[in-house]
Amino acid sequence: RAVLLLSGKRKSGKDFVAEELRSRLGPDVCTILRLSGPLKEQYAKEHGLDFQRLLDASAYKERFRQDMIRWGEEKRRADPGFFCRAAVQGALQPVWV
């Protein structure tokens, strides 16, 4: 079992590296977990927004970015593991990126 954490600035290639690892290890061995997905999904639910549009690189997402960041920080302050628990739910592969 392994957990690989990738960090870096926006547009630095984290998604590319994660996808490359998964393609080399195989989807039965490796899964990609993103904290941003559960964060955006919960934010969309609580604010009546389109979750799918928050996932893409659109002006729609940018319009809510600052408030989403503030909201996410408040959630993590109240419950540091909230988004991690949501991200790993159902992940059965031995390697998490």
Count of Cβ atoms closer than 10 Å to residue 22 Cβ = 17
Say yes or no to pLDDT of 66 above 90: yes
Average pLDDT over the chain reads 93
pTM of the model as a whole:
0.72
The pLDDT tens digits of the residues spanning 13-50 come to: 999 999 999 999 999 999 999 888 889 999 999 999 99
Listed by start position, the domains of the chain span: 46-96
Comparing CA positions, the residue from 35, 17, 19 lying closest to residue 72 is 35
